[in-house]
Structure 1
Amino acid sequence: MYLADRSAPDGAKTASGGGPGRSPAVASAVLALGSVSLITDVSSEMVTAVLPLYLVAGLGLSPLGFGALDGLYNGVSALVQLTGGHLADRVRNHKLVAGIGYGLSALCKPLLLLAHGLGPVGVVLALERTGKGLRTAPRDALISLSTPAELQGRAFGVHRAMDTTGALLGPLAAFLILRAAVDGYDAVFGVSACVAALGVVVLVLFVPSGTGTGTGTGPSRPKPGASPGAASRTPAPATAPALAEHGAVNLRKALGLLRVPRLRALAACAALLGLTTVSDAFLYLLLQDRTGIREQWFPLLPLGTAAVFLVLAVPAGALADRFGRRTVFLTGHTLLLAGYGLLLWAPDWSALPLLVLVLHGTFYAATDGVLPAAVAATVPAELRATGIALVGTGQALARFGCSLAFGGAWTLWGAGPALAAAAGALCCCAAVAGFVLRPTAPGAAPAPARHS
């Protein structure tokens, strides 16, 4: 479905096993995956919080060099994500592929203790991102397959809120370790490795092996008390006939997803906006450069983004289900543009860092879970992970290009002109995305839902 599409009306929503009009509890699989993501993000964000300063101040990287490494950090994950999604659909074991990804990332954390040069650090980060790429699409597929279609925005919001709790605790842990330990960076990397191992254990013990009960894949049917047209208000995934057939997943079926117009629209807009989304690491460096934040406080900057994301992830997902994913998604990018504007033109307010971090966190709350929820409603169940991976790969590769371009622009022109160029490009790309993702026939009822 388009980001503009809306969920079924309240009357058509039922609790699993409950009566009409009652919202079902979040699936146990979503909560278990959220717990794994929470623990893993504590580990990952401990490293991410100190990495920009470690590379720029510790290893002496230029903005261009950091942009290349930051792009590699995200680009490898993007390329592998497509492989992970297709592999999970092909072997029909999403938990297994996700577990391999979590395990690989955990194994890479202690290697950072041994990697002190740019080359070794780059290799370790590439391997760690390989693990992230393998796990992302299978994990999101498990979430969507465990949740009714009309409530997937909320389910992804709950997962992202739990994930972001880890992102909130990770920088705080890194900050405390840096203050307490003599060899601070190595201590951060060591503790991160232990926490990552715990996340793998929780995945193995508590995440169900199956792909859910199918509640998010069946056709939308009217419930007792619902209006006669309730089922017809859930948009149909515009899949090619061959894609709706059950059977073994193969490369031909996976590539056939590219023939789905709605999926192409989502993928194109995600990539277009990704080209103008400055990476988190660069935004924090820009904020430090603009406000003169001391180095010892730098690891706390991601904490601000994560706190706002945590508070708003579930409400943003619920708003997307109720009022339309296009509206929430584009609003998020508008708020990011406002953050760029504050960094460029706002006076030297003492509250400037807080305002920028609030806008940055709200941007993530309005976009990070909304996009996979829209993709999940566009592709059949047997290709769910592949579809999510296709869109995620395009977006991540675009952000890889943005990191390279922004690092080069900062080196050549300076921080201000580079950010102004990014802001102008984001404004244009958001306008194009708003046009592409508009409802095809405003006021007309969408076709009946059909899920595989």
Structure 2
Amino acid sequence: MTYLTRTIWLLSLISLVTDIASEMLYPVMPIYLQSIGFSVWIIGVLEGIAEAIAGLSKGYFGKLSDQTGRRTPFIRLGYGLSAVSKPMIAVFVYPLWIFFARTADRLGKGIRTGARDALLSDEATTETKGRVFGFHRSMDTMGAVVGPSLALLFLYYFPGSYRSMFLIAFVPGLLAIILSLYLQEQTASPTKEKAPPVRFFAFLDYWKSSPAAYRRLVAGLLVFTLCNSSDVFLLLRIKQAGLSDNATIGIYIFYNLIYALAAFPLGILADRIGLKKIFLAGLMLFVMVYAGMSVAGSWLWYASLFLLYGLYAAATEGISKAWISTITDKTDTATAIGTFTGLQSICTMMASMLTGWIWYHFGALTAFLLTACIAFIVVAYLLVRVPAPDTNT
């Protein structure tokens, strides 16, 4: 596997340890915030604003990375911010401070995403992009298996010690900072000589100058994102079906394990038979899962659906970025991916609000079936309107 270069391994390990830190806190974040006086509404506002800042900053810093021709400074700063934000939440409990710390964490993700994915693309060839992005996604998602497992183990022995968990989460975050110092890159030429300062929304200008294939692909992906709400709704569905808290968390860990184990092999397969084929197969699995969620069943039924859901995620998340990097110019990779992921973050936030409204007014059955129908329409659109990104499809 000579295509897995030193840089790819480093980026993947950095993502692994960072995700361990983040996913350790994911199950306890709402509980901790409520324990220090935050209402559910305030928590929702906090998360919404933080995610919006992260989403918009992905496009801005992606554009800035392309304009300067640098990747590693953005990667180091992004992972560094996310690492130091974890213990900050445990130091003080003032709402303004918590908002600042949480925003710093999400801003770190926004700073690093475009540059990191562009560096991954630079390390790959057209024939290996699927497996490179798949390998990185596999390592990243393994953190979502290890993190919650460590959290469950820690809380079993030290119940209620939430603040200690935020301090402990700094350890893998610190390791990510140290590993990022070993990253090297061949500094590319800036896209423009003496280019003007990058405006915050300048990345949106890329939409006008981007290839037609990019606009068609991203348009379809964003429509899909508008119906692809938070995984919280899937967990809520199985919780309402009568599964215990431990069973619900166990299924969530099982989903991430399938995701992590399948992402790399599916990336290899995508390089062999075509990125588009694997991506569309993944979306069809999504349709099956959401249609299946509208049917009441046993824990085995829901575990089977989450197995398919893990395969869907493995077949789409890394593959979509590989596809985008294949149909755009190398000098615009960070901008192209940053623009997509930025708009995707905003659409994800809107999707959760919309799904919650439909669920409240019309019930879970309507919410899940409507999502499945829209996703199927997107599959048909991508199949007909968006060309395959490579010749081996």
What is the correspondence of 1:33-432 to structure 2 with a 5 Å cutoff? 33-54=11-32, 61-62=39-40, 68-114=45-91, 116=93, 121-205=98-182, 207-210=183-186, 247-248=192-193, 255-259=205-209, 260-294=211-245, 296=246, 298-347=248-297, 349-410=298-359, 412-413=360-361, 417-418=363-364, 420-432=366-378
Instruction: Give the whole-Å Cα distance in 2 for the aligned partners of 1:285 and 1:66.
Output: 17
The structural deviation recorded for 1:158 is 0.8
Aligned to 2:241, the other structure's residue is in SS state helix
Shift of 1:66: 5.7
Q: Residues 158 and 441 from structure 1, CA distance in 2 versus in 1: closer, same or farther, beyond 3 angstroms?
A: closer
Partner SS, residue 346 of structure 1 = coil
Report the Cα distance in structure 2 between the residues aligned to 1:396 and 1:24, rounded to whole angstroms: 34
| Distance change >3 Å, CA 354–CA 170, structure 1 → 2 | same
Query: Cα–Cα, structure 1 residues 292 and 376, in superposed 2: closer, same or farther, change >3 Å?
Result: same
Which deviations, in whole Å up to 9, do the C-alpha atoms of 1:159-185 show, x marking residues without a partner? 111111222111111111111114332
1:360 alignment partner AA: Y
2:25 aligned with 1:25: no
TM-score, normalisation: structure 2: 0.87
Measure how far apart 1:429 and its partner are: 4.0
Question: Secondary structure of 2:184's match?
Answer: coil
1:124-173: CA deviation from partner (whole Å, max 9, x where unpaired): 32221111111111100000001111210110011111111222111111
- Aligned residue pairs, count: 384
> For 1:110 and 1:94, how far apart are their aligned partners in 2?
26
Indicate conservation of the 8 Å contact 1:145/1:211, yes or no: no
Query: Are the counterparts in 2 of residues 59 and 118 from structure 1 also a CA contact under 8 Å?
Result: no
- Partners of 1:68 and 1:407 within 8 A in 2: no
Indicate the larger mover: 38-47 or 311-320: 311-320
Q: Distance in 1 between matches of 2:248 and 2:206?
A: 46
* Matched letter for residue 17 of structure 2: I
Q: Distance in 2 between matches of 1:52 and 1:427?
A: 32
Aligned pair in 2 of structure 1 residues 275, 129: CA closer, same or farther (>3 Å)? same
Distance 1:57 1:342 in 2: 36
Once residues 281 and 345 of structure 1 are traced to their aligned partners in structure 2, the CA distance between those partners, rounded to angstroms, is: 18
Give unpaired runs (5+ residues) of structure 2. none
Identity of aligned residues (%): 27
Q: Calculate the aligned-residue CA RMSD, in Å.
A: 3.0
| Distance of 1:84 and 1:127 partners within structure 2 | 15
SS at match of 2:63: helix
How far, CA to CA, are the matches of 1:407 and 1:364 in structure 2?
Answer: 22
Q: Which has the larger radius of gyration?
A: 1
SS in 1 for 2:26: helix
